[in-house]
C-alpha cells in the first residue's frame, strides 16, 4: 500500500512538472515556479516527492534513489536554497547587474560540499556525486559551469510579468525574447495585436 501511494504521488508530481526550456540544468531548477508572483503561482518543488520526481525527469537519479528522512529534509532545503540563489543570480546577470555575493556563496558552498564526497573516474574524468549530492551537487556544478562559461553572455530572462523564467539564447543573432514561443511568445503577440486594434 505504501509503495503504491508513493508511486501515485510521484506520478502526480511528474504530471505537474514544468517544461524544460532553459537549455541548462541549473536554470531548469530556477524555472520550477510557474506564474511567479501571481495568484496562479505554482511551486513545482513544494515537497521532497516533487524534488525526487523532478530529479528523475531530468536524469539526476533513478528508481534506486533512497535517502533517510533526515537527508530528505536536507535535500529539500538545499534544492530550495539553490533554486533561490540561481534564480536571483541569473535574473541579475540577465538584466546586466552583478549577482549578490550571498547568492554566489550558496552555489559555491553546495558545490564544495558535494565535491568533498565526490569521486573521479573515466576518460575524460567525470565527477560522480553521492547521496543527496547526486541532485544538489550536479545542479550546483551546472550553475558554476554556466557562470564560468562563454554562454553566460547569452543568459536571458523572459519579460512577461508573470513568467521571468531564465534561458540560454542559442539563436545565431541572439534574438530569442521569450522562454517559450508556444506560451509566453504567443501571449505577448496576442496582447500586442489587441493593443493595435
- Checking if the pLDDT of 3 tops 70, the result is no
Here the cell at position 35 is 506564474
- Position 179 scores a pLDDT of 78
CA–CA distance, 64 with 66 (Å, rounded to integer): 6
What mean pLDDT do residues 147-169 have?
89
Q: What is the pTM of this model?
A: 0.84
- Position 9 scores a pLDDT of 47
- Position 13 scores a pLDDT of 43
Task: Kindly report the average pLDDT of the chain as a whole number.
Answer: 86
- Position 39 scores a pLDDT of 84
Here the cell at position 90 is 541569473
Express each pLDDT in 81-96 by its tens digit: 999 999 999 999 999 9
Amino acid at each position: 500500500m505504501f509503495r503504491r501511494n508513493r508511486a501515485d504521488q510521484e506520478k502526480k508530481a511528474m504530471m505537474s512538472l514544468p517544461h524544460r526550456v532553459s537549455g541548462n540544468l541549473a536554470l531548469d531548477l530556477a524555472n520550477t515556479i510557474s506564474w511567479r508572483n501571481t495568484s496562479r503561482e505554482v511551486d513545482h518543488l513544494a515537497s521532497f516527492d516533487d524534488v525526487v520526481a523532478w530529479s528523475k525527469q531530468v536524469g539526476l537519479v533513478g528508481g534506486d534513489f533512497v535517502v533517510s528522512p533526515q537527508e530528505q529534509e536536507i535535500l529539500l532545503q538545499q534544492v530550495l536554497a539553490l533554486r533561490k540563489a540561481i534564480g536571483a543570480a541569473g535574473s541579475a546577470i540577465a538584466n546586466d547587474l552583478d549577482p549578490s555575493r550571498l547568492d554566489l556563496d550558496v552555489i559555491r558552498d553546495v558545490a564544495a560540499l558535494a565535491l568533498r564526497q565526490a569521486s573521479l573516474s573515466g576518460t575524460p574524468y567525470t565527477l560522480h556525486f553521492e547521496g543527496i549530492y547526486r541532485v544538489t551537487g550536479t545542479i550546483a556544478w551546472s550553475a558554476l559551469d554556466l557562470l564560468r562559461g562563454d554562454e553566460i553572455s547569452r543568459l536571458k530572462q523572459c519579460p512577461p510579468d508573470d513568467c521571468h523564467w531564465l534561458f540560454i539564447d542559442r539563436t545565431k543573432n541572439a534574438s530569442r525574447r521569450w522562454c517559450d514561443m508556444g506560451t509566453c511568445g504567443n501571449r505577448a503577440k496576442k496582447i500586442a495585436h489587441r493593443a493595435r486594434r
